[in-house]
Amino acid sequence: MDWLIQITQLFYLHFFHRYELVPFLLLFVPFVLFFELPLYISSWFGIFRHLTHDTFDQPLTPPFFPGVSCIVTCYSEGEAVKGTIRSLLEQSYPGHIEILAMVDGVRKNQKTYNALMTCITQAKHYANRSLIIVPKIQRGGRVSSMNAGLNRASGAIIMALDGDTSFDVQMVHHAARHFRNSNTVAVTGALRVRNSEQSLVTRLQHLEYLLTIQSGKLGFTNLQVINNIPGAFGIFRKSFLKSIGGWNTGSAEDLDLTLRIKQYRQRHPDKLIIFEPGAVAHTDVPDTFHQFFQQRLRWDGDLGFIYFNRHHKGMIPTLMGWRNFLFLLWYGLFFQIIMPFAIVLYVLYMALTLPVVAILLIMLLIYFFYLLLTAVQYGLYLLLLSDRIREDLAAAWVLPIFPLFQFATRLWSALALANQFLNRAHLDSAMAPYWVLKKGKQ
């Protein structure tokens, strides 16, 4: 052991004392203590609480099978839309499922429309299932399709789904049961990466989805502060959704709707947004780094638009309640908005004041710290939550790369936010035509 002590002392004297690295590491500590660790701890707490509830606190309940309307937004999916429709027709749910396939801009979307038409005969062979294809002549965008579907829907529960997303056979059953509680207004479920084995970036996103959605949202739902209901997989009580006016035109309509629901919290403190891990959807993610960063340029830029342009007046405790307000400050503003810029400034400060060797040392220490956090989170998920161990173990080999991936996405997030603030990038979106976005609330 003497040799180890000597190496440690030499390491300290040569690097920490010579380059005075302690002040720089102390700059890193606030990131960890105030931004990262609470997120990880809340997700770990949520995992154990979820397991305890499932084991010891599951009351016997009578059958509950309300009508469900699935609004499937279809635009340029082509033959892939057949998988989505089939996975809804084959649900084990005994109640009625109405599938509203909203074909946006049908004249330019004939391939998707024709693929849907071939599903009509197939749908007739399933009891308690109905497929309605709604061709929209003029393209109005995603929000236009969902609101049109909401107006036509007959079910008490609305599912807003993407045309290229498929679902586990018990998805509707697991999601619908939460609406037995009259206070439940929205439910979201686990979103898994369907093309995880396609490339390095899809494997990294597979691990990201496991850690942030399957594990992370369990913590948030137990604190009753779900951060977002994904646009590709959102489930709502129709009466409540109609009472707040459905979806707003513009980008990041999912986060916009989530914040509007939260703004009823103070007036209706019993309203619930639930995460149901048994309701599982599968989606394809970008399979190249170029496509991935293009997607995140839009996603992260839209955060700035939603927080600072659309909802800056509504993010107050008198509307949201103190719990949601404080969580929004911590996770939404500090973690998602401020932290990317703080990391950029931290890196620039080191680059301008420290030699290369010292910078590499600090980055190496930070890397191992985040690797440890990620490994603990991933291990808990595999041991306690995963019902597809073999599939989820496939993400293990990218675990050493994941902290670098996180670092790159946070630097990119700062660029995306700056692009939004300087160029109003939310108007440059494929989610709707420019004229539709322009007419939305700016």
Check residue 433 and give its pLDDT: 61
Q: How confident is the model at residue 47 (pLDDT cuts 50, 70, 90)?
A: confident
Closest by CA position to 212, among listed 70, 362, 377, 346: 377
Write down the pLDDT at residue 107.
Answer: 84
**Per-residue pLDDT averaged across 414-441, rounded?**
70
Q: Which residues pair with 194 in a beta bridge?
A: none
pLDDT, tens only, 278-296: 999 999 999 999 999 999 9
User: 246 - beta bridge partners?
Assistant: none
Q: Is the pLDDT of residue 238 over 80?
A: yes
State the pLDDT at residue 190.
92
Residue 143 domain-assigned? no
Edge-to-edge order in the sheet of strand 68-74: 129-136, 97-104, 68-74, 157-162, 233-237, 184-193, 272-283, 166-167
* One-letter identity of residue 408: A
Residue 53 placed within a domain: yes
Whether pTM exceeds 0.85: yes
In-domain check, residue 397: yes
CA distance 336 to 342: 11
Cβ-count burial 128-160 (b if 16+ within 10 Å, e if not): ebebbbbbbeebbbbbbbbbbbbeebebebbbb
- The residues facing 338 across adjacent strands are none
Query: For position 77, what pLDDT does the model report?
Result: 87
The mean pLDDT value for 289-309 works out to 90
Whether residue 324 is contained in a domain is answered as: yes
pLDDT of residue 413: 94
In a domain? residue 49: yes
The tokens for 277 are 């891990």
Q: Dihedral through CA 406, CA 410, CA 416, CA 419, nearest 10? A: -150
Question: At residue 153, does pLDDT exceed 60?
Answer: yes
Residue 171 has pLDDT above 90, yes or no: yes
How many domains would you assign to the chain? 1
Can you give the pLDDT at residue 425? 60
**High-pLDDT (> 70) share of the chain, %:** 86
Task: Please say if the pLDDT value at position 2 is more than 80.
Answer: no
Bigger pLDDT: 318 or 63?
318
- What confidence tens digit (pLDDT) does each residue in 328-380 have? 888 888 888 888 888 888 888 878 877 787 778 778 888 888 898 899 989 98
- The answer to whether residue 96 sits within a structural domain is no
Are the beta carbons of 198 and 109 closer than 8 angstroms? no
Based on the number of CB atoms within 10 Å of its own CB, is 264 exposed (0-12), middle (13-18) or buried (19 or more)? middle
Query: Quick one: tokens of 37?
Result: 């660790």
Confidence tier at 203 by pLDDT (50, 70, 90): very high
Give the tokens for residue 195: 């093309």
In a domain, 129, yes or no: no
Distance CA(38)–CA(225), nearest Å, equals: 13
Predicted pLDDT at 362: 78
Q: 98-118: per-residue pLDDT in tens?
A: 999 999 888 888 999 999 999
User: What is the predicted pLDDT for the residue at 266?
Assistant: 82
Q: Kindly report the average pLDDT of the chain as a whole number.
A: 85
Q: Which two tokens stand for residue 129?
A: 């299932």
pLDDT of 292? 96
The pLDDT score that the predictor gives to residue 35 is 67
- Tokens representing 143 are 């929000």
Report yes or no on 434 lying in a domain: yes
Tell me the two tokens of residue 60: 């016997």
Residue 15 one-letter amino acid: F
Give me the domain span that covers residue 15: 10-60+181-442
Q: What is the sign, positive or negative, of the torsion defined by CA atoms of 45, 50, 51, 57? A: positive
Average pLDDT over residues 221-250: 88
What residue has token string 């393209």? 139
> 3-state secondary structure string, 96-144?
CEEEEEEEECHHHCHHHHHHHHCHHHHHCCCCCEEEEEEEECCCCCHHH
Tokens of 87: 């996975």
pLDDT value of position 429: 60
Give the tens place of pLDDT for each residue, 53-82: 665 555 656 778 999 999 999 988 889 999
Q: With helix as H, strand as E and coil as C, how does 408-430 read?
A: HHHHHHHHHHHHHHHHCHHHCCC
Hey, what are 59's tokens?
Answer: 């009351």
